[in-house]
Amino acid sequence: MDEKRTVGKAIPSPILDAAAVASLADARLRARVVVEGALAGLHRSPHHGASVEFAEHKVYSPGDEIRRIDWKAYGKFDKYYVKRYEEETELRGYLVVDCSASMGYRGGAASKLEYATWLAGGLAWLLLRQQDQAGLVAFADGLRAYLPPRGRPSHLGDVLDALGSLEARGTTDLGRALAYVSDVARRRSLIVLMSDLLETGYEAVHLLRGLKARHHDVVLLHVLDHDELTLPFEGPTEFEGLEDDRRLVADPEAVRAQYLEEIGRFVDGCRRSCAEGDVEYHLVDTSRPPSLALLELLQARGRR
């Protein structure tokens, strides 16, 4: 994911599948394509413009000061919006990326880690475009990379360079990573975790709920490969653990029904636990265009 300057080349269609995005050599171009695809979809959405975190106004709610209502916005949108001052509008976003060995699985055009870095790059682009701050925390069995939130436009290059240097290796210590985030995020922030949760499960969600209890805005992007969601293999297959030495030979057709039941139970459990703790949950299938995954996140935030 080395960053290169692209001069005089046409920008591809904003909605590209994972294979097309993976073929782009320019990190900035990848981030731009993912974001433009999401924004194009958001423009067609009835929820366009409703997102609080990525706007300079917030929808009025009981308890807000009436004197801060933007009457010009009311005349235009027929809805009450409250003006927010500079210190209130500057959002700090922490993009937390799991780069443990299990994130290196690649069933299609992109590994789970590559897909997560595309989403993180797109979110960083969005935050900086709105004059907010974007920070990065990458982890596995320890901290792999940390960039404190910054709002200057040149910070996007720093974030994309750091994302491009990540490698999927090591085990997962999500507790240590989120404890670090909790320590550095001293004021209310947007915290977006991108992980497969395969070695942490419900413990991870419990930790995220702890961050939410500290008044952070917490989002979980549960990144899973399409193979992990469907078990499409045929014939006797040897399965290898990515974070340990375990090996298992099995006939996928014989275990598929039970496997799908288990993975469904796991995903539903994570989703339900997030809902109980007011943590925003999104299942991300790496076979889908990354712009659509980002679009669904923005639409959900608009509805919230």
Q: What is the pLDDT of residue 17?
A: 86
What integer pLDDT is reported at residue 75 of this predicted model?
73
| Helices 112-129 + 27-43 axis angle, to 10 | 70
Tell me: the pLDDT tens digits for 171-218?
999 999 999 999 999 889 999 999 999 877 778 899 999 999 999 999
Say what the pLDDT of residue 7 is: 41
Alpha-carbon distances, residue 195 vs 112, 133, 262 (angstroms): 8, 22, 18
> How is the chain split into domains, by residue range?
91-303
Those residues whose C-beta lies under 8 Å from the C-beta of residue 148, and which sit 6 or more positions away, are 135, 184
CA distance 302 to 295: 10
Which residue is it, tokens 């060995």?
A: 101
Instruction: Mention the CATH class of domain 91-303.
Output: alpha beta
Per-residue pLDDT at 197? 94
Angstrom CA distances, 180 to 5, 12, 143, 166, 203, stand at: 34, 38, 9, 18, 16
Question: What is the rounded distance in angstroms from the CA atom of residue 216 to the CA atom of residue 190?
Answer: 6
Place of tokens 């299609």: 108
Q: Residue 203 carries which DSSP code?
A: H
The token pair that represents 120 in the structure block: 């993180």
pLDDT of residue 48: 37
* Alpha carbons 264 and 267: distance in angstroms, whole number: 5
pLDDT of residue 62: 64
On whether the CB atoms of residues 220 and 231 are closer than 8 A, the answer is no
Report residue 258 as tokens: 């039970």
pLDDT at 61: 65
> Running along the chain, 304 residues long, what does each successive block of 10 average in pLDDT?
41 71 87 85 48 50 65 72 57 96 93 97 93 95 96 95 96 92 93 92 87 95 96 82 74 88 95 95 96 92 75
Pairing of strands 92-98, 190-195: parallel
